Amino acid sequence: MKAIRIHSAGDLRMYDEPEPVPGEDEVLLEVTAVGICGSDLHWFGEGGIGDAVLNRPLVLGHEFAGIVQSGNLKGQRVAVEPAVSCGLCYFCEQGHPNLCENIIFAGHGKQDGALRQYMAWPKNFLFPIPDSIDDVAGAMLEPLGVAIFATDLAKIGLGARVGVYGCGPIGLMIVQLARLLGATQVIATDVLPHRVEAAKAYGATDVFQAYKAEEVDVIMAATNQKGVDIAIEVAGDNHAVTTTVETSRPGATVVLVGIPDSNETSFNAASARRRGLTIKLCRRMKHTYPRAIELVDKGLVDVNSLVSDCYPLAGYQQAFESAAKREGHKVVIEPNK
């Protein structure tokens, strides 16, 4: 089978490798679609993410769908939970598998991801998907899960004013979810004009192009100087973090989702303290796949139109370069096409 491994920043290579043999609690998957995530772009652009660095050629890819090739689920199309939690540690027992002390995550550390034609994966971390959800949309269920978890943390109520700062695919899903949850004003920003326009199309009531937090004044004007009830940062940029703090009303909730290039996040402590803000950080997701599947199946959240480009596995270099340019939205690789 073919597999793509990253050796260092920008250095992706294709290999012929043996088809994996599933373990006792695993099944063999034919990988049908893999989304290139912003975190994959950190690996591609920097050779690492946060405090994690490459120590061997790694197969990236954690947003993926597949078809089961072994066991009693053979032939079933599935979305895949990329984070395998142990179920036994303190955090798992407390209902926080995303904080598992022994977590194994696809495309990270010692665990190869989905940018290959076949892979073995634990059968308990697969979610059957209906025919109404195609393979590409199946891969989009993972970032939708992150968006759902971010809105869970935000606790968006009816009539809320919500700011979404950063409108990549996850930000655009959060815009849709905020409207579903009853937000009457959704303010969205991004540095890229096409993402600002997309936010408007997906339901944002007010959209502004971001530039070094200079958009704070126009956002405050849009809220009659009250500020937003919920501010969700999805840009991975400190200017966006500044915007979340400076546009939040006293007592508001701030949710930080983005992963910064510098592995540091900062904001004006006096502004945050005087507002009495509740600041939460979004760590991947938990208990979201069934809801993600139902939302897409019922047409309540549109994920397909967020996919701007699809490539075969052999087009991996072009796919990553396209995703890094951020000229569209989501780039997907289909390993068996």
240 pLDDT more than 90: yes
Sequence ranges of the domains in the chain: 2-128+303-334, 147-281
Pick from 288, 271, 298: nearest CA to 141: 288
CB 302 within 8 A of CB 329: no
If you average pLDDT over residues 27-54, what whole number do you get? 92
Compute the average pLDDT of residues 68-89.
96
Mean pLDDT, rounded, for 59-75? 97
Phi, psi of 196, deg, nearest 5: -60, -45
Q: Given the structure tokens 């979610």, which residue do they identify?
A: 127
Do 164 and 178 touch, CB atoms closer than 8 A? yes
Query: Which amino acid does the sequence have at 72?
Result: N
Burial class (CB in 10 A: 0-12, 13-18, 19+), 95: exposed
pLDDT score, position 335: 98
Quote the pLDDT of residue 263.
Answer: 83
- Furthest C-alpha separation in the chain: 61
CATH class of 2-128+303-334: alpha beta
Instruction: Please write the tens of the pLDDT for every residue from 213-229.
Output: 999 999 999 999 999 99
CA 307, 311, 313, 315 torsion: positive or negative?
A: negative
Separation of alpha carbons 28 and 122, rounded Å: 9
pLDDT in tens, 2-11: 999 999 999 9
DSSP state of 123: G
Q: For residue 289, give the H/E element and its range.
A: helix 289-297
Rounded to whole angstroms, the Cα distance separating 224 from 143 reads 33
Measured CA to CA, the distance from residue 323 to residue 137 in angstroms comes to 17
Residue with tokens 């809801």: 291
198: pLDDT strictly greater than 90: yes
Name the DSSP class of 155.
T
pLDDT of residue 229: 98
CATH entry, 147-281, from 3.40.50.720, 1.20.1250.20, 1.20.190.20, 3.40.50.10680:
3.40.50.720
* Percent of the chain residues topping a pLDDT of 70: 100
> In this predicted structure, what is the pLDDT of residue 49?
85
Mean pLDDT of 301-305: 97
Helix ranges restricted to H, 108-207: 135-154, 169-180, 193-201
Could you give the CA distance from residue 274 to residue 40 in angstroms, rounded to a whole number? 37
